[in-house]
Structure 1
Amino acid sequence: MVSIGTAEIISTHDAYHSSNWPALKPSEKKEMEKRRRIGSKPPTCEKKCYGCEPCEAIQVPTISSRPHLSHYSNYKPEGWRCHCAP
Structure 2
Amino acid sequence: MSVQAGAHDQQLKRKESVIGSEPPACGNKCLNCKPCLPYIFDIHGTHDDDDDREPYYPVRWMCRCREKIFGPQE
TM-score of the two chains, using structure 1 as the length reference: 0.45
User: How many corresponding residue pairs?
Assistant: 47
Alignment of 1:42-81 (within 5 A): 42-64=23-45, 66=46, 69-72=48-51, 73=53, 74-81=55-62
Structure 1 moving runs of 4+ over 4 Å: none
| Structure 2: segments with no counterpart, 5+ residues | 1-18, 68-74
Rg comparison, structure with higher value: 1
Counterparts in 2 of 1:39 and 1:52: CA distance versus 1, 3 Å: same
1:85 corresponds in structure 2 to: 66
Query: When the two structures are superposed, what TM-score results if normalisation uses the length of structure 2?
Result: 0.51
Q: How many angstroms does 1:53 deviate by?
A: 0.6
Paired-residue identity, %: 34
Higher helix residue share: 1
Aligned partners of 2:25 and 2:38 also within 8 Å: yes
Of structures 1 and 2, the one with the larger relative CO (CA 8 A, separation 6+) is 2
RMSD: 2.2
What's the CA shift for 1:70?
4.1
